[in-house]
Each structure stands twice: as structure tokens, then as C-alpha cells.
């Protein structure tokens, strides 16, 4: 929910490799080193964002962790599950679920971004929101092929083990099993953003490229936390807690690890760096 779920966001017109310095965190204990990097899942082409610290870590990584399994299979499974879980039954309609004012807003946003309103009417609120976000990314010239995960997967040594925090089914369940009112609250946040602040794409990607964690927290996390604390817990806090436990288990072993997850999971007091610090690990970074 909210565009943060797909990315911390994407924008056309971003360029200039000299300015790009996304943050990197390094977690250490006696026999392990773990590099944490916050991803933007979709980006426009031509943005040179790759920090040297990430490149060095990838070159010697024993294992590489993503949110979902690497490769096109996970994307295909996610799309299949979204179509299976996120489409309303024939006797239900999103336009009948939403209050009239929200329907009018949804139709207006759909028309502004070239989304077929008859398609949206068949979707659950969470999938309608992701459909709107996808349209905004396409308008910005951004895509998964230009995103961080694709570049990291291509650059990592073939011998590095690829691991994932979630399966496509587990990730989709976070959306699909959220209460209806929480889904609608998140949809409203995204509609407001797309109506009032089309430049949010540029603002957030520039903040990511500049390592401006304050802007990322304020623009990406705070609106969802305020609109639906329950949904924020499901999408961010609960997943961060599970992932931190998995990384703690990995750090109890030995070796070099690179972790690439959405930037929203690394910032704020409940982010992965803060959780690992609280567990007693040395964490270098912002």
C-alpha cells in the first residue's frame, strides 16, 4: 500500500552520477560483515546510483538477500497471485465499496494517469492502489528493469548464494489480508499524493540518491503511519521484526552478506539498522 510499497519512488529527469550517494550500512561482529542497502525497486534509465561500498561488498559476498527470490519467476508468480487474490468477485465493485467522494477522486486520478476506470472497478483497494502506482511509474519512464535489484543481481558473483526474506505468496498476503478499511486508507493517501504532489516521485528519488533520510522518513513513512497505523505495522514494522530475526541468525554464522531491501525498511527507529544495533551489533552508517 502506498507507492512506498513498490518503490521509494521513481522519477524521470534524474541524472548526474556525481550527486548520487545513496546510504550504505555495514553491520559487523567478530566473524561476519553484512552490508545493508536500501533499494528503489523501479527507476528511470541512466541514473548512476551505485555506491562504491556496495560494489566492493558485492564482489566478495558469500550470500545476497532480497525481499523476494531473484529472477523473473518471482515477478511472474507475484503477477499471477495478484490476479488471483486482488480481483473482486463478479457481484462486487470497488465503486460500490468506496464512498461516492472517493469514487469521484479515483476516477479523476485514473483519467489523469491513463488508467482504465472499468478495470479499477474490478479490483480490491490494495490492487487498485498498486495499479495507480504502476501508471505513475510508467509516466515517469521508470521500470523494474532499471531498479536496484536488477542491477545488483547482474553484478553479484554467480557463486554468491541468493536468498529471500519472503515468497511472493507471503508478500501478497500482507496486502490482501489487510482489513478493508486499512486498504482504503492507504488508497486515499496515494490518491492525495497523485492529485496534489506529482513531484513526489522526484523528491523521494532525489532524497534517496542524496542520502537524505529525513526527507525519506517524512515523505514516505509518516503519511502511511498517520493514515493507518495498523497497515503500517503490517507492511513495515512486523516485516522488519521478522527480517531482523533472520539477519540475526545469519550473523551468528560467519561470512560476508549483502542485503538489498526497499529503503523504507532501513529508515526510522524501527528500521533494520536500528533493530540490529539494539541486538548489540556494530552498525556503521547514517
Query: In this predicted structure, what is the pLDDT of residue 20?
Result: 66
The answer to whether residue 169 scores a pLDDT higher than 70 is yes
* Distance in angstroms (rounded) separating the CA atoms of residues 73 and 153: 14
Residue 180 CA: distances (Å) to CA of 1, 117, 230, 235: 12, 20, 11, 15
123 occurs within a structural domain? no
What is the total count of domains within the chain?
A: 1
Query: In this predicted structure, what is the pLDDT of residue 100?
Result: 98
Query: In this predicted structure, what is the pLDDT of residue 184?
Result: 96
What are 47-76's pLDDT values in tens digits?
889 999 999 999 999 999 999 998 888 889
15 occurs within a structural domain? yes
pLDDT classification of 30: cutoffs 50, 70, 90: very high
* Distance in angstroms (rounded) separating the CA atoms of residues 61 and 258: 6
What are 220-273's pLDDT values in tens digits?
899 889 988 999 999 999 999 999 999 999 999 999 999 999 999 999 889 999
95 occurs within a structural domain? no
Residue 61 Rama label (left phi>0; alpha psi -120 to 50; beta): beta
106 occurs within a structural domain? no
Domain around 203: 3-85+138-284
91 occurs within a structural domain? no
Amino acid at each position: 500500500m502506498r507507492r512506498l510499497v513498490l518503490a521509494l519512488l521513481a522519477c524521470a529527469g534524474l541524472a548526474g552520477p556525481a550527486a548520487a550517494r545513496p546510504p550504505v550500512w555495514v553491520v559487523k561482529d567478530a566473524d561476519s560483515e553484512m552490508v545493508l542497502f536500501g533499494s528503489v525497486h523501479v527507476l528511470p534509465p541512466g541514473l548512476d546510483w551505485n555506491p562504491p561500498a556496495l560494489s566492493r561488498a558485492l564482489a566478495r559476498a558469500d550470500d545476497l538477500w532480497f525481499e523476494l527470490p531473484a529472477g523473473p519467476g518471482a515477478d511472474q508468480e507475484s503477477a499471477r497471485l495478484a490476479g488471483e487474490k486482488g480481483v473482486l468477485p463478479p457481484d462486487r465493485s470497488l465503486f460500490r465499496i468506496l464512498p461516492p467522494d472517493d469514487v469521484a477522486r479515483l476516477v479523476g486520478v485514473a483519467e489523469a494517469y491513463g488508467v482504465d476506470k472499468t478495470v479499477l472497478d474490478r479490483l480490491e483497494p490494495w490492487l487498485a492502489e498498486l495499479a495507480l502506482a504502476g501508471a505513475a511509474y510508467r509516466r515517469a519512464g521508470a521500470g523494474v528493469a532499471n531498479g536496484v535489484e536488477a542491477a545488483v543481481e547482474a553484478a553479484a558473483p554467480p557463486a554468491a548464494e541468493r536468498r529471500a526474506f519472503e515468497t511472493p505468496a507471503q508478500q501478497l498476503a500482507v496486502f490482501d489480508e489487510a482489513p478493508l478499511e486499512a486498504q482504503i486508507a492507504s488508497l486515499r493517501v496515494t490518491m492525495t499524493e497523485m492529485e496534489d504532489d506529482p513531484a513526489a516521485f522526484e523528491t523521494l528519488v532525489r532524497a534517496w540518491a542524496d542520502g537524505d533520510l529525513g526527507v525519506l522518513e517524512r515523505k514516505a513513512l509518516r503519511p502511511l503511519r498517520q493514515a493507518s497505523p495498523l497497515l503500517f505495522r503490517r507492511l513495515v514494522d512486523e516485516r522488519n521484526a521478522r527480517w531482523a530475526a533472520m539477519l540475526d541468525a545469519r550473523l551468528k554464522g560467519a561470512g560476508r552478506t549483502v542485503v538489498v531491501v526497499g529503503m523504507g525498511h532501513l529508515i526510522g527507529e524501527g528500521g533494520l539498522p536500528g533493530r540490529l544495533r539494539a541486538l548489540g551489533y556494530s552498525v556503521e552508517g547514517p
